[in-house]
Amino acid sequence: MNPENRWIRLAELIPWDEYEEKYASRFKSDTGNVAKPCRMALGALMIQKRLGFSDRELVEEITENPYLQYFIGLPGYQETPPFDASTLVAFRKRIDLDMSQFMNDILLEENKAKQDSENKDPHDKNDNGSSEGSAAVGRKSDKTESPEAADKDVNSGTLIIDATCAPSYIRYPQDFSLLNEAREKLEDIIFRICGDNGLYRPRTYCREARKDYLNLAKCKKRSKKKIRATVRKQLGYVRRDLGYIDRYISDGYALLPKEEKLLDTIRKLYEQQKYMYDNKTHKVADRIVSIAQPYIRPIVRGKTKSPVEFGIKFDLSIDEDHMGRIEKITFDPYNESEVLKRAVESYKTRTGHYPERVLADQIYRTRENRKFCKENGIRLSGPKLGRPSKELSAEEKHIEYKDNTDRIEVERSFSLSKRCYGLGLIKTKLEETSYGSVGLSIFVTNLFRILGRASDLFCAFFKVLFLTTDMRPLYINAEIFSAV
């Protein structure tokens, strides 16, 4: 096998043994079938994140590709599938948000320690004592080192923070469509109860309700009056079906556990839709936008393309090494400004000192956050409060320009994770697996960024090597390759 293959090089970067200890502790019982190792579970989900395969297609690709089999830890190539497609559901439940953040912290700590050891290598220092060479490729220094900067109490480094939404894979919510879906599910419950107990089916007017729904759904131009009339009719159908089910429950007919949870969701949906209809509003607390996933909430983003998104909202912080960490994550909407203090304190816990500067957009620059940064000697990006000064010095203009350009890194990280690592559309159906999917996307983004940085160092080494040998062909053996 080619040692330069990306999956082989990627497998060497991951501390599998440390992940295995954490993963094994999540199994509480010693009985039953032998569980798959962490490398197989995590490796399969990482391949899925990077290549975007479905569960069945992922199993087929792993079965056909020996490099993918090596990456998930198989001892040799085999033509039989290592696991079934349904096993991926269990993998996603076990590698949740807590596990993903643990793996990300371990990976970034080892990467930071490796970079520090490379910078302290005496062979990489020139006559002036500054660190240069291949180990410093791709890294930028925010300021010149001094004896005072060696003290941990002195602020140094950069922290970039911003929030985004990871949209879930749901149908765009519309009031009349949600009520029609609720009506259909209630009818299924009624028909199931009547069929199991030999009862006469009550009149639900399902054909008329379906016709009323399609009259608006197929309409190209929907007036407010027509939408309101359709919602009123659907509310009546849902109210009638809920009355039938309440009567069955009072008569002693039991519901299935799945039906009980579904019925609670539909009751809350009906109450919210009835409140909005009566008060002629479109706002309500904890609004349900999906019956199958009632925990999803609308997130107002204010973007031109999608003003409102439906999914997980989270804050991501980027350090001076361009590595991302999740500071806060939830389905409920919140104000991002409350996360800045927590992110700065987490940075101090990791490094032992506060950052020299914090790059954030306008929503983070509240008076409270400005006061916090000023008390701790942190420079918060953006203009000062009050009237803008008529003239800025050349140094102030340079600082403002550099802050604006450096803050783009967090936007670039969002774009990369959404385009290449599955953050653009979360397709998991459970709340805990959705959180884990977002955490795994950030982890895989950091991992491939480290791999890309190692590739850049490798290319830079050979570029210098070729230039110093007057472009003569080079032949290296395995020992030299491993040393490099």
Q: Per DSSP, what are the bridge partners of residue 298?
A: 310
Using a 10 angstrom Cβ sphere, with 0-12 exposed, 13-18 middle and 19 or more buried, the burial of residue 80 is exposed
As a whole number of angstroms, the distance between CA 82 and CA 42 comes to: 14
Does 389 have pLDDT greater than 90?
no
Percent of the chain whose pLDDT exceeds 70: 87
Average pLDDT for the chain = 86
Single-letter code of the amino acid located at 267: R
Q: Per DSSP, what are the bridge partners of residue 158?
A: 357
Does 146 have pLDDT greater than 70?
no
For domain 175-279, the CATH architecture is Up-down Bundle (1.20)
pLDDT band at 452 (very low <50, low <70, confident <90, very high): confident
Q: Is the dihedral of CA 210, 213, 214, 215 positive or negative?
A: positive
Q: Per DSSP, what are the bridge partners of residue 311?
A: 167
pTM summary value: 0.84
Higher pLDDT, residue 329 or 140: 329
As a whole number of angstroms, the distance between CA 158 and CA 294 comes to: 38
Which sequence spans correspond to the domains of the chain? 100-169+298-453, 175-279
Residues 6+ apart with CB under 8 A from 204: 187, 190, 237, 240, 241, 244
In order of 78, 296, 388, the CA distances from 311 in angstroms are 39, 6, 38
Q: What letters, b where the CB count within 10 A reaches 16 and e where it falls short, cover 34-45?
A: eebbbbbbbbbb
pLDDT band at 154 (very low <50, low <70, confident <90, very high): confident
Q: What does the CA dihedral 373, 377, 379, 385 come to, rounded to 10 degrees?
A: 60
pLDDT band at 123 (very low <50, low <70, confident <90, very high): low
As a whole number of angstroms, the distance between CA 392 and CA 425 comes to: 43
CATH no., domain 100-169+298-453: 3.30.420.10
As a whole number of angstroms, the distance between CA 104 and CA 223 comes to: 50
